[in-house]
Amino acid sequence: MADIGDQSFKSAEALASDIGSKLERLRLSRNVTQTDLARDAGISERTLRRLESGDGATLDSLLRVLLALKIAQNLDLLVPDPRVRPIERVRTGGTERQRSRSAKSGQAPKQWQWGSTE
């Protein structure tokens, strides 16, 4: 069974391979053939084989397979909703951020020194 520990040190290829093998195991546990799943997902068998082997499938193909396996609701776990942060809402007065801002450039912050009045 795959390790579900810290995923932050894995390469994109290793993560794709892990996801593909999990999809394959799920398909097999449900006794679904590659032919049937590919047909239900609207993709070719070759695309499904590439997805299961972690070999360069597209996001569209992954989403189609997740929908065909009826596990698309698990996508919420993949990318959490950024709006659900109560402490941020308190800091921003209940408004949500509409755009990001890059760090201020130009002058470096003045270093504090002992005896400084600032």
> How far apart (Å, rounded) are the C-alpha atoms in residues 101 and 103?
7
Cβ(51)–Cβ(20) below 8 Å? yes
Tell me the CATH number at 22. Answer: 1.10.260.40
**Domain encompassing residue 17:** 12-78
Give me the percent of the chain exceeding a pLDDT of 90: 48
**2 band by pLDDT with thresholds 50, 70 and 90:** very low
118 is a domain residue: no
In a domain, 85, yes or no: no
Asked if residue 116 has pLDDT above 70, the reply is no
Q: Tell me the C-alpha distance between 114 and 58, whole Å.
A: 58
- Domain annotation covers residue 3: no
User: Is 111 within a domain?
Assistant: no
38-71 per-position pLDDT tens digit? 999 999 999 999 999 999 889 999 999 999 999 9
State residue 74's pLDDT score: 82
**Which residue, among 75, 69, 55, 64, has the nearest Cα to 27 in the 3D structure?**
69
Domain total of the chain: 1
Query: pTM for the whole thing?
Result: 0.64
Alpha carbon dihedral 11, 83, 62, 53, in 10-degree steps, equals 20
**Model confidence at 5: pLDDT above 70:** no
Higher-scoring residue by pLDDT: 69, 113? 69
